[in-house]
Amino acid sequence: MIIVMGPGHSDEQLQAVVRRIEQMGYSCHLSRGVERTIVGAVGHKDKTPLQALEQMEGVEAVIPILRPFKLASREFKREPTIVNVEGVSIGGPEIVVIAGPCSVESEKQVMDTARAVQAAGAKMLRGGAYKPRTSPYAFQGLEEDGLKILLAAKAETGLKIVTEIVSVGDLEVLLKYADILQVGARNCQNYALLRAVGQAQKPVLLKRGMSATIQEYLMAAEYCLNEGNYDIMLCERGIRTFETETRFTLDLNAVPVLKNLTHLPVLVDPSHGTGHWRLVAPMARAAIAAGCDGLLVEVHPEPANALSDGSQSLKPIKFERLMEEIRRVAEAMGRAI
Amino acid sequence: MIIVMGPGHSDEQLQAVVRRIEQMGYSCHLSRGVERTIVGAVGHKDKTPLQALEQMEGVEAVIPILRPFKLASREFKREPTIVNVEGVSIGGPEIVVIAGPCSVESEKQVMDTARAVQAAGAKMLRGGAYKPRTSPYAFQGLEEDGLKILLAAKAETGLKIVTEIVSVGDLEVLLKYADILQVGARNCQNYALLRAVGQAQKPVLLKRGMSATIQEYLMAAEYCLNEGNYDIMLCERGIRTFETETRFTLDLNAVPVLKNLTHLPVLVDPSHGTGHWRLVAPMARAAIAAGCDGLLVEVHPEPANALSDGSQSLKPIKFERLMEEIRRVAEAMGRAI
Amino acid sequence: MIIVMGPGHSDEQLQAVVRRIEQMGYSCHLSRGVERTIVGAVGHKDKTPLQALEQMEGVEAVIPILRPFKLASREFKREPTIVNVEGVSIGGPEIVVIAGPCSVESEKQVMDTARAVQAAGAKMLRGGAYKPRTSPYAFQGLEEDGLKILLAAKAETGLKIVTEIVSVGDLEVLLKYADILQVGARNCQNYALLRAVGQAQKPVLLKRGMSATIQEYLMAAEYCLNEGNYDIMLCERGIRTFETETRFTLDLNAVPVLKNLTHLPVLVDPSHGTGHWRLVAPMARAAIAAGCDGLLVEVHPEPANALSDGSQSLKPIKFERLMEEIRRVAEAMGRAI
Amino acid sequence: MIIVMGPGHSDEQLQAVVRRIEQMGYSCHLSRGVERTIVGAVGHKDKTPLQALEQMEGVEAVIPILRPFKLASREFKREPTIVNVEGVSIGGPEIVVIAGPCSVESEKQVMDTARAVQAAGAKMLRGGAYKPRTSPYAFQGLEEDGLKILLAAKAETGLKIVTEIVSVGDLEVLLKYADILQVGARNCQNYALLRAVGQAQKPVLLKRGMSATIQEYLMAAEYCLNEGNYDIMLCERGIRTFETETRFTLDLNAVPVLKNLTHLPVLVDPSHGTGHWRLVAPMARAAIAAGCDGLLVEVHPEPANALSDGSQSLKPIKFERLMEEIRRVAEAMGRAI
């Protein structure tokens, strides 16, 4: 931490700040400039928040130097984490595509989709049985019946199951069906849920909150890691900005930023990130060129009849074309799909 | 819903759209313009999302006309909702101030604060026993021990207790101590939690998510109302923007916008909304002048030693001055504190 | 400036950084922590940007400590600047209201408005003769004919004239008519224009850019001050955020933040800041309670027929009511209008 | 335009709205729903803004249906515009790379850079001689001397010259040296400047304002087109969001959105868009995979000594590597560089 003493601060004020910092168990380095004096607080006691020194007389600002995440950082673990999901690796040289409908609606819908995306090269099937809907009046999911449909699709196609958890109370049921537990953007800072999935023996796909800074996002991952679950995957899915042509602004900058900061795999969801099917393929290609480890793509046999997210879902035929396009980009990146 | 047919659409495409809309149980009104044809879909079947019609050939855009919230709307209930908390009314002519520390840290800290804020005119005591902290390494709250301290403070001062719920699993314990259950900004769209507090017989203070649009925010309230709990209070607490001089951007525009759209009481939290104690009093005054029904203010006997949010907490003496200032503004608004 | 050396940096890298900083004319203070080494660069040579040291091996981050504005700062000038416009003071104890139409459309429109706002207590008349319109097909203003109409209104009512400059080429003409030159939000970082009005002998009302940080905004003011014009007034008018219920998000937090950082007067424009006439009065009251020195309010005799900004303009009768309301709030603040 | 009549509106209010719309020269289509009545206003008279109908009694909202840009739209011109700059085509199958320093600092700096980027495959040289700097104390550019250096570099390498115009007053000089006039992000809505370059016989590279919506951005291009200059190129360069790990948020979604809406070429500037050299190559690759027609990349022989934007500039050796990477991605897209 750097504590900046404002112009015109007195020696007494400076001494008081130094005393307080030392009481807190840090040591101090002083640096007197022409217009400011800077106090560097060295040491790291996690639970004493220096930020509140802003309240002391003469202090102009308190500036953090260290990033707060530890287990998620490249400093803690230099090698990339590779998550193994029943033989499918995420975070290694191969790029993994997870595809499927937003919501599980019926057996036929899921089966048709599963066969199509498997044939096109997807390795995992996504589909929500518990849905976090903006409106209480919207379709809320088939719950365990939906999970059973996903399992049947897995039995036939071999696709691994990625499905969302919205409540700690559903964890036990979900553990029986899911291969990857997805935590959605609206629950990115639901710390009770993060702790619960952190205690589970199951890989977690943690989506970025739509207003989570990258630092906050990594702190959310840190909650899971800190409970002992190291199979955490990140997923950029669009942030909130002023632009209204897209539903969210898919922030692909997050891909190289995250790859620099953390060892965890980074996926991208161009369907939720843009909200419009026309934009899914270009942003899927761009995500791979930016260096991501995998994609989440919404596919529905009849998007115009979907019970949720129809406007951003791809028809199977368009998904097939997308797979061809991204294969070429992956190859240009020296990777395979 | 308005469906806009793009330039160059064919008659067949238009007929297909009309047929689909009618199949979904709506009736259609056509309006042919020079450059576009517009189809108005009349009727409201809640569960069939017309948005996905964007996928049909020839369709340029699908534009919603009705706002999606019902029970929260002024159309549903014209008169303002007044929430009665053991004799203290929120949403009526009187403005209610809720004050106290961010976290319950010790009995002495809470008692000192409670006495001071009660003497200055606060009607309720805030204090977190279960804390949603960005870092898993930060102080996480005293849990039930903290609730007991709040109850002791209530016993002495008569202040009602406002405290946060972060997990459905804590609800039973919280119901024994809290007078108002607070749902924090990071849980604003945690629908499992919203449903749980909606089923409880206890007033709820629902904070706006830091990236929730006002419409999404009212839909979050709708989740609680839809479960039968009508004692819901809203609270603007800052949204995420590009500006970094403040921790968040307290969006006071939300006050008159919400007062127009909903009958629910609207409070403002200038402490979290700005993140700096120097800005709390000016924004508290402004919030009242904008027409809010109450304030949440963080007060700590020694902010520089606080375990959380020290930089935005007021010392009791500054809180007293704030109360004097806002009393004058309330009077100018024809209201009392 | 603080230069943070990353984990694992070598001594050679540190020495190279120190050498470079000293070559640039700064002196260095080293502070070695457990995980990072921090180099404080002391001295201030304005033209050598240290930020680029981020490129050197071993450097993790470069963090500025000093705010970059000088002449605009409270450190440079402790007392508030009071701008005198032909006897009307802005920045002193009295709050000044500037009112009028968005665009000058006709003599009758301006005269009707001027009489009404003067009767209600406004001290200055606003009205655009050169309009910066988003669309090249929209009404672009009456140019010098419009200025003549404003001058006629001034002759009759005594109201001072505030009008916008959109191009350096119009400066000469504007200087003949305007009492205050307004620089609009879209030109907030048009440095050629800022320099030109900085060289003029005329007070300037500089609106905040819709995505200008407060620091960038003060740097824009610094451009004018640096040319020798000290009669600069600031005006918050709404920033761009994700919220769509308002046209912009009027950022009232900027009022106390600016009052802390600068000696310049701070005004607020609740008309452009919200975009809806219903929100103008509440936000005008709030702006005054937040501590602003004046208001810009759009008034039009027939808003539904206005050639620009009709949806945010007040009818004269509503403006009169607004004046009554804000007078009471100003009084509560110990100020007069 | 769609005018939505609110719940409980009277027949008189509806009739008044219809009369007003017809007076304005539009024809009306009525569509009565269960909860709202919708009035479609058909016809397009550019100068009468219907938005202000929001002021009329009973009106709940006024919703635009048509996008306001015309000449920039795909409807106006289906085929992509290809801008020819002395034999180099932008907007065709080939992707064009423009590279060079942020500012022209010296002959040696420009010559070294020009030779390096030409050898690596760039077709054009960028470099600012007139600089729009946030601080009046920062290096402001070499002006005409800088332009002469650029011309010398062109003479030797054949690279075309892209350089920024910040003021209408500099246009005449710039026309003697520049092959493409660049309008920077801060001048994106400087309409006086847009008109001036629209009247010039010279290709224009118009950067997106950091808070310009895509619609506003296309309206800015429309200003130039409307003056008769059709050689307009667009360039995404980062928008302002809450995220602070990057200087701006490069919005690659804008690439496919713009390619859908307009026939104009779309470039991307990953240097300004991210602000950090480490992110330039990944985002350059992603931009090409998203479908852009060209790149602007900052290259400097010694970034750590650059007078501006050093932290985002690439050394020539890194630029060479970037060119290899993007060539492979371009090939995967079926394009060449």
Chain centroid to CA D213: how far?
Answer: 11
- End-to-end CA, chain D: 44
Of A278, A286, A287, the CB nearest to D260: A278
C32: chain A residues, CB-CB within 8 Å: 42
What is the chain C residue with the closest CA to B270? C253
What is the average per-residue pLDDT within A78-100? 97
In sequence order, the β-bridge partners of residue C94 are C336
Banded model confidence at residue B311, pLDDT cuts 50, 70, 90:
confident
Q: What is the DSSP letter of D220?
A: H
| Cβ separation D75–B7 shorter than 8 A | yes
What's the pLDDT band for C117 if we cut at 50, 70, 90? very high
- pLDDT single digits (tens) B71-82: 999 989 999 999
Report the residue from A134, A168, A310 with minimal CB separation from B55. A310
pLDDT at C48 over 70: no
The predicted complex's ipTM stands at: 0.94
Which pLDDT value is given to residue B48? 60
Question: What does the pLDDT look like over A125-137, one tens digit per residue?
Answer: 999 999 888 888 8
Chain B residue closest in CA terms to C240: B241
Cα distance between residue A190 and residue B186, in whole Å? 7
pLDDT band at C192; cut points 50, 70, 90 = very high
Indicate the pLDDT class of residue B45, thresholds 50, 70 and 90.
low
**Nearest chain A CA: its distance from D216 CA (Å):** 10
* Other beta carbons less than 10 A from residue C76's beta carbon: 12
A325 pLDDT higher than 60:
yes
* Interface contacts (A, C; CB < 8 Å): 63
Q: What single string gives the DSSP state of each residue in B171-186?
A: HHHHHHH-SEEEE-GG
**B and D: number of Cβ contacts within 8 A:** 63
pLDDT of residue D31: 81
For residue B1, what pLDDT is reported?
79
CA distance A160 to chain D (A): 28
Type and span of the H or E element at B4: strand B2-5
Does position C231 have pLDDT exceeding 70, yes or no?
yes
D243, D277, D280: best to mutate for the A interface, most A CBs within 10 A: D243
Minimal C-alpha gap between C191 and chain A (Å):
25
Chain D residues within 8 A of A332 when measuring between CB atoms = 328-329, 331-332
Inter-chain CB proximity C40 and A34 less than 8 Å: no
In chain B, whose CA is at the least distance from the CA of D32?
B42
Q: What is the DSSP letter of A182?
A: E
By Cβ distance, the residue of C241, C246, C274 closest to B241 is: C241
Best residue in A4, A55, A232, A278 for a mutation probing chain B (most B CBs within 10 Å): A55
> Who has greater pLDDT, C60 or B145?
B145
Please answer whether residues A70 and A76 qualify as being in contact, where contact means their C-beta atoms are separated by less than 8 angstroms: yes
In chain B, residues with a C-beta closer than 8 Å to the C-beta of A55 are 277, 303-304, 310-311, 313
Residue C309 pLDDT: 79
Judged by CB atoms closer than 8 Å, whether chains meet at B304 and A53 is answered as yes
C79 pLDDT band, cuts 50/70/90, is very high
- Selecting from B278, B290, B332 the residue whose C-beta is nearest the C-beta of C282 gives B290
Distance from CA of B60 to the nearest CA of D (A): 10
Work out the minimum CA distance from B162 to partner chain A, whole angstroms. Answer: 20
Query: Which of A137, A186, A306 has its CB closest to that of B46?
Result: A137
* Alpha carbon distance D140, C226 (integer Å): 14
- Rounded-to-integer distance, Cα B67 and Cα D174, Å: 52
Interface partners of chain D (CB pairs < 8 Å, 3 or more) are A, B, C
Nearest neighbour of B47 by CB, restricted to A139, A223, A276: A139
Any chains having at least 3 CB pairs less than 8 A from chain B are A, C, D
What percentage of chain C has pLDDT greater than the value 90?
Answer: 75
- Give the phi and the psi of residue D14 in degrees, each rounded to 5: -65, -45
- Nearest Cα residue in chain D from A216: D243
- Nearest chain B residue to C247 by CA: give it: B253
- What is the overall mean pLDDT for chain C? 93
Q: Which of A118-122, A140-144, B318-322, C252-256 has the lowest mean pLDDT?
A: A140-144
Query: What residues of chain C lie within 8 A of the CB of A66, using their CB?
Result: 35-36
Q: How many CB atoms lie within 10 A of CB B47?
A: 11
Listing DSSP states for C166-224 in one string gives --GGGHHHHHHH-SEEEE-GGGTT-HHHHHHHHHSSS-EEEEPPTT--HHHHHHHHHHH
Q: Choose among A7, A40, A241: nearest Cβ to C242.
A: A241
What is the distance in angstroms between the Cα of D37 and the nearest Cα belonging to chain A?
23
Q: Which tokens sit at C243?
A: 């919220």
- Which residues, 6 or more positions from B317, have their beta carbon under 8 angstroms from its beta carbon? none
**C80: which DSSP letter?**
P
pLDDT of residue B103: 95
Percent of chain A exceeding pLDDT 90 equals 75
- If phi > 0 it is left, if psi is from -120 to 50 it is alpha, else beta; for residue D38 that is beta
Contact D56, D16 (CB under 8 A): yes
CA distance A118 to A121: 5
Cβ-contact A84, A55 below 8 angstroms: no
Q: Does D46 score more than 70 pLDDT?
A: no
Question: Quick check: C61 pLDDT over 90?
Answer: no
Q: How many CA atoms lie within 13 A of C323 on its CB side?
A: 23
Q: Which of D67, D218, D253 to mutate: most A Cβ within 10 Å? A: D253
Burial class of residue A41 in the structure, from the number of CB atoms within 10 Å of its CB (0-12 exposed, 13-18 middle, 19+ buried): buried
Domains and CATH numbers, chain D: 2-63 (3.30.70.1140), 83-332 (3.20.20.70)
Give residues with Cβ within 8 angstroms of C60, minimum separation 6. C4, C5, C6, C7, C36
Q: What pLDDT is stored for residue A109 in this prediction?
A: 96
Interchain pair A31, C43: CB under 8 A = no
What does the pLDDT average to over A132-143? 88
Q: For residue D301, count other CB atoms closer than 10 A to its CB.
A: 19
User: Looking at chain A, which subunits does it touch, using at least 3 CB pairs closer than 8 Å as the criterion?
Assistant: B, C, D
Compute the half-sphere exposure of residue C306: CA atoms within 13 Å on the CB side of its CA: 30
Find the range with the poorest average confidence among A272-286, C86-100, D50-64: D50-64
Please state at what angle helix C254-261 crosses helix C214-226, rounded to 10 degrees: 40
pLDDT score of C89 more than 70 = yes
Q: Which residue has the tokens 């505030």?
A: C162
Nearest Cα of chain A lies from the Cα of C177 at a distance, in angstroms, of 37
Say yes or no to pLDDT of C317 above 90: yes
Round to whole Å and give the CA distance between A26 and B306. Answer: 17
Q: Which of D260, D279, D290 sits opposite A253 (nearest CB)?
A: D279
Instruction: Give D234 to chain A, closest Cα distance, Å.
Output: 17
Q: Which residues pair with C162 in a beta bridge?
A: C126, C180
pLDDT at residue A44, as a whole number: 61
Per-residue model confidence (pLDDT) at position B46: 53
pLDDT for residue A119: 98
Q: What is the pLDDT of residues D12-21, one digit of tens each?
A: 999 999 998 8
Confirm if C204 and C181 have CB atoms less than 8 A apart.
Answer: yes
Provide the pairing of β-strand A2-5 with A37-42: antiparallel
Going by the DSSP 8-state scheme, the letter that residue A131 receives in this structure is: -
Within 10 angstroms of residue D65's Cβ, the number of other Cβ atoms is 19
User: How far is residue A55's CA from residue A51's CA, in Å, rounded to a whole number?
Assistant: 9
On chain D, the residues whose CB falls within 8 A of the CB of B75 are 7, 35
User: Which of C32, C43, C75 is opposite residue A7, by nearest beta carbon?
Assistant: C75
Task: List helix spans (H) across B41-143.
Answer: 107-120
Which residues fall within 8 angstroms of residue C177, CB to CB, at 6 or more apart?
C147, C148, C150, C151, C161, C163
Percent over 90 (pLDDT), chain D: 76
Average pLDDT over residues B210-214: 96
Please report the pLDDT score of residue D6 as a whole number: 86
Q: Rounded to a whole number, what is the distance in Å from the CA of D186 to chain B's nearest CA?
A: 16
What Cα–Cα distance (Å) separates residue C71 from each residue in C200, C224, D336?
17, 10, 51
pLDDT per residue as tens digits for the range B200-211:
999 999 999 999
Residue labelled with tokens 């929001």: D54
D33/B63 Cβ within 8 A: no
Q: What are the residue ranges of helices labelled H in B180-238?
A: 191-199, 214-226
* Min Cα separation B194/chain C (Å): 22
**How far is the CA of B101 from the CAs of A314, B150, B281, in angstroms?**
50, 11, 16
